[in-house]
């Protein structure tokens, strides 16, 4: 049975939360950037989306590493409650990586319709995952 390590939790619980804010912002912004591109056909919006998706994936991986360490130092009961958060995080990351590959195409087909649909799914997943993650974290720190 895992034991609670208060020193490690003081470091990794806030670090995981800080890093998790970046994919939340990047993936939601990528959806709005795709939406702006679909409305204007200005290629710069599609370029913004690619960079936002890439940054979101990198920060999601960093937050995932901190989250794994976070889960290892917390009590096992808290880890069981956060399994939905972990599953949705993996689904979000896979969807975002596929979305990055779709956005690597040229022109209109990089965003419309597949790219914007994947961005919407990724944004929805990151919102739900963040909500669950912050809910579990607030129970942990209470």
Q: What is the pLDDT of residues 108-125, one digit of tens each?
A: 999 999 999 999 999 999
Q: What is the pLDDT of residues 76-106, one digit of tens each?
A: 555 666 789 999 999 999 999 999 999 999 8
Report yes or no on whether pTM surpasses 0.75. Answer: yes
Burial class (CB in 10 A: 0-12, 13-18, 19+), 52: buried
Residue 34 CB coordination number (10 Å): 28
50 contacts 69 by C-beta, under 8 angstroms: no
Token pair belonging to 133: 């993650």
pLDDT, position 107? 85
> Rounded mean pLDDT of the chain?
87
Query: Domains of the chain by range and CATH?
Result: 6-141 (1.20.120)
Query: Quick check: 7 pLDDT over 70?
Result: no
């Amino acid at each position: 049975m895992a034991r609670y390590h208060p020193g490690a939790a003081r470091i990794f619980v806030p670090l995981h939360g800080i890093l998790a804010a970046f994919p939340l912002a990047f993936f939601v912004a990528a959806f709005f950037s795709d939406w702006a591109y679909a409305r204007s056909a200005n290629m710069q919006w599609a370029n913004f989306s690619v960079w936002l998706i890439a940054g979101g994936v990198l920060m999601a991986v960093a937050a995932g590493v901190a989250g794994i360490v976070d889960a290892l130092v917390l009590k096992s009961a808290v880890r069981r409650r956060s399994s939905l958060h972990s599953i949705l995080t993996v689904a979000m990351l896979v969807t975002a990586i596929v979305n990055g590959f779709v956005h690597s195409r040229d022109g209109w087909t990089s965003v419309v319709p597949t790219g914007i649909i994947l961005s919407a799914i990724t944004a929805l997943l990151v919102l739900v995952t963040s909500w669950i993650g912050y809910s579990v974290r607030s129970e942990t720190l209470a």
